[in-house]
């Protein structure tokens, strides 16, 4: 296997504990060795991520690759560590958390000079594991692997996934938290990202009064992850925090665009780079519903439901701002960043919605038009993905509801809402008539922002069920489809609306945090 060029800045430049397992005062990381697994087996890899690391498919099939990314052996240049962070979980400060089952393997510099940090998820106990086992089950690892890559191909900022390896060892999980633990197959994903720094990395130092370390992490982040920001210290800080807010706002708009619900937007699951990070009980909206959450742990309050994500992101940024206060040149800079979040989100939301509906520009009255559509879609149980692809087919001069029929889940609802949708379509067509456009070019534009294929919850579950029977073909099919999500041509079963059987099936519309 080709030797990669490692340059492990995180552990070289930030203080850590090299061997005693200390996780408190003064450390940003603690050295840890992955725990060996008994029978590693490569289930999947991403050729695109191999490429980022200058590795070939032959490398991926080599014994060294398997051993390294199963956590059985470090490659030359790798160093293994777990990092220290805290976080607000479901609105409460949860104290110190840290990489309980993630183990960093170092930072690769590729031939283009890009830096990619490698991290195993599920490679065994770390000094931050608290009472948990440091492992991950196949179902959750497969979901993380597939979704990371699917998000990337949709054009949405995300951490990436290099490999998915079955460990051959069992992991005990009480999947439904109902007192019925069972042994499940374990697996390890190797995640890849320019940085795995989370809001919670800053929060832990602020909460413990470790202001010097907070300053060091800030300097490090600016230097390694935002090297293009220049100026005086104060200018750099202001620009940086503003950019973190901006990227987070843009990410929220992107999630809304494709119907993605993260499910656990705790501050420890928020990337300082504005990437989608930590795929747990995430889900994809089938029937449009802003109140929907896939996460059963959030069933009561719906804190992290689809339509709340931007509000929660803002709240999380406020927690980050509080943590940064001791090292901020002024509070004003933090307030300005947060205000920039609001402005960015509103502006980007309008642009995104205009594009989704095929409007060349966003006019004042468009908010009402779009809101009516969303209200109707929710009431009439309309599939979000199917709706927008079909809306692109509507003819401006001859709009008919028939075009949208395939997006409805229930015939009676279709019938009872038909008149309302028809009058909405007349408004929509009138609006289209006010722009210099034609059906064909609008269709092309809309199909570039409205995906044909998304990783629906039940599709991932089918791939899991098959993989449990040692059939990996579904993973491959989903990877293929995920590579060109906006194209029309996909196998019919991959772009079908959610089947009824999936409504109540565990893993398809409801997921627990157990992973």
**Contacts with ligand AMP, residue ranges (CB under 6 A):** 97-101, 129, 132-135, 264, 268-269, 278, 280, 513
Look at residue 134 and give the partner it binds from ligand AMP, Mg ion, none, a contact being a CB closer than 5 to 8 Å depending on partner kind: ligand AMP
Based on the residue annotation, tell me whether 268 is a catalytic residue of this protein. yes
Residue 99 or 117: the one with the smaller Cβ distance to ligand AMP is 99
Q: How far is the CB of 268 from Mg ion (least distance, A)?
A: 5
CA 471 to chain centre: 26
Q: How far is the CB of 121 from Mg ion (least distance, A)?
A: 9
Burial class (CB in 10 A: 0-12, 13-18, 19+), 438: exposed
Which residue of the chain is nearest ligand AMP when measured via CB?
100
If one asks whether residue 144 binds Mg ion (CB under 5 A), the answer comes out as no
Residue 107 or 268: the one with the smaller Cβ distance to ligand AMP is 268
Could you tell me how many residues of this chain bind Mg ion (CB under 5 A)? 2
The one catalytic residue in 17, 99, 268, 278 is: 268
Q: How far is the CB of 100 from ligand AMP (least distance, A)?
A: 2
Q: How far is the CB of 264 from Mg ion (least distance, A)?
A: 7
- Please pick, from the candidates 46, 269, 514, 515, the single residue that binds Mg ion as defined by CB under 5 A: 269
Look at residue 276 and give the partner it binds from Mg ion, ligand AMP, none, a contact being a CB closer than 5 to 8 Å depending on partner kind: none
Residue 158 or 450: the one with the smaller Cβ distance to Mg ion is 158
Two structure tokens written together for 48: 């695109």
C-alpha dihedral, 5 to 10 to 16 to 18, nearest 10°: -10
DSSP 162: E
Look at residue 100 and give the partner it binds from ligand AMP, Mg ion, none, a contact being a CB closer than 5 to 8 Å depending on partner kind: ligand AMP
If one asks whether residue 83 binds Mg ion (CB under 5 A), the answer comes out as no
Look at residue 246 and give the partner it binds from Mg ion, ligand AMP, none, a contact being a CB closer than 5 to 8 Å depending on partner kind: none
Q: How far is the CB of 491 from ligand AMP (least distance, A)?
A: 32
Nearest to 64 by CA among 78, 47, 48, 81: 78
Q: List helix spans (H) across 325-472.
A: 331-356, 366-379, 384-391, 411-433, 439-449, 457-468
| Coil, strand or helix at 509 | coil
Q: How far is the CB of 130 from ligand AMP (least distance, A)?
A: 6
| Coil, strand or helix at 456 | coil
Pairing of strands 41-45, 160-173: antiparallel
Residue 95 or 491: the one with the smaller Cβ distance to ligand AMP is 95
Nearest to 450 by CA among 380, 405, 390: 390
Instruction: Specify whether the CB–CB gap between 428 and 420 falls below 8 A.
Output: no
Look at residue 98 and give the partner it binds from Mg ion, ligand AMP, none, a contact being a CB closer than 5 to 8 Å depending on partner kind: ligand AMP
Look at residue 133 and give the partner it binds from Mg ion, ligand AMP, none, a contact being a CB closer than 5 to 8 Å depending on partner kind: ligand AMP
Per the listing, tokens 């393997």 go with 105
- Please pick, from the candidates 149, 278, 383, 462, the single residue that binds Mg ion as defined by CB under 5 A: 278
Look at residue 356 and give the partner it binds from Mg ion, ligand AMP, none, a contact being a CB closer than 5 to 8 Å depending on partner kind: none
Distance CA 191, CA 194 (A): 10
Distance CA 418, CA 428 (A): 15
Pairing of strands 29-31, 16-17: parallel
Distance CA 266, CA 302 (A): 13
Residue 328 or 511: the one with the smaller Cβ distance to Mg ion is 511
Pairing of strands 283-284, 260-261: antiparallel
Two structure tokens written together for 216: 């060091």
Residue 298 or 462: the one with the smaller Cβ distance to ligand AMP is 298
Residue 144 or 254: the one with the smaller Cβ distance to ligand AMP is 144
Which DSSP string do the residues of 274-293 spell out, in sequence order? --B---SS-EE-SB--TT--
* Strands (DSSP E) found in 131-251: 160-173, 182-193
Active site residues: 268
Binding site for Mg ion (CB under 5 A): 269, 278
């Amino acid at each position: 296997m080709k030797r990669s060029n490692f340059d492990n800045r995180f552990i070289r430049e930030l203080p850590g504990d090299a061997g005693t397992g200390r996780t408190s005062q003064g450390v940003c990381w603690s050295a840890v060795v992955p725990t060996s697994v008994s029978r590693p087996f490569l289930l999947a890899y991403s050729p695109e991520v191999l490429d980022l690391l200058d590795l070939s498919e032959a490398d991926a099939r080599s014994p060294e690759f398997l051993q390294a990314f199963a956590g059985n052996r470090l490659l030359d240049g790798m160093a293994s560590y777990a990092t220290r962070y805290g976080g607000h979980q479901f609105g409460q400060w949860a104290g110190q958390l840290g990489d309980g089952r993630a183990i960093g393997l170092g930072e690769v510099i590729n031939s283009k000079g890009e830096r990619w940090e490698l991290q195993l998820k599920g490679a065994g106990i770390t000094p931050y594991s608290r009472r948990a086992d440091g492992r991950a089950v196949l179902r959750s690892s497969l979901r993380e692997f597939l979704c990371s890559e699917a998000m990337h191909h949709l054009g949405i900022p995300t951490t990436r996934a290099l490999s998915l390896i079955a460990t051959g060892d069992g992991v005990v999980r009480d999947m439904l938290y109902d007192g019925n633990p069972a042994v499940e197959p374990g697996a390890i994903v190797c995640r890849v990202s320019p940085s795995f720094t989370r809001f919670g990395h800053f929060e832990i130092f602020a909460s413990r009064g470790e202001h010097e370390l907070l300053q060091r992490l800030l300097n490090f982040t600016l230097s390694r992850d935002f090297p293009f920001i220049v100026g005086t210290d104060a200018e750099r800080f202001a620009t940086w925090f503003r950019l973190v807010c901006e990227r987070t706002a843009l990410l929220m708009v992107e999630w809304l665009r494709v119907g993605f619900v993260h499910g656990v937007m705790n501050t420890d699951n928020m990337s300082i780079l504005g990437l989608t990070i930590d795929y747990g009980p995430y889900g994809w909206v089938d029937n449009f519903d802003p109140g929907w959450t896939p996460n059963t742990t959030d069933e009561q309050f719906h804190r992290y439901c689809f339509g709340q994500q931007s509000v929660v992101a803002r709240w999380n940024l406020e927690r980050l701002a509080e943590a940064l206060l001791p090292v901020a040149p002024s509070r004003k800079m933090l307030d300005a960043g947060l205000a920039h979040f609001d402005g960015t989100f509103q502006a980007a939301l309008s642009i995104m919605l205009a594009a989704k509906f095929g409007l060349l520009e966003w006019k004042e009255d468009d908010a009402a038009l779009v809101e009516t559509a969303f209200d109707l879609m929710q009431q009439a149980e309309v599939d979000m993905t199917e709706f927008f692809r079909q809306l692109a087919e509507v003819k401006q001069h001859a709009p008919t509801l028939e075009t949208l029929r395939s997006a409805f889940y229930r015939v009676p609802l279709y019938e009872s809402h038909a008149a309302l949708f028809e009058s909405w379509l007349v408004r929509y067509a009138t609006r289209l008539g006010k722009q210099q456009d034609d059906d064909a070019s609008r269709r092309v534009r809309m199909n570039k922002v409205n995906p044909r294929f998304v990783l629906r919850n039940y599709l991932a579950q089918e791939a899991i069920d098959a993989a449990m029977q040692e059939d990996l073909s579904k993973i491959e099919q989903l990877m293929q489809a995920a590579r060109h999500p906006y194209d029309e041509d996909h196998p019919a079963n991959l772009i079908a609306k959610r089947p009824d059987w999936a409504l109540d099936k565990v893993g398809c519309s409801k997921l627990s945090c157990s992973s």
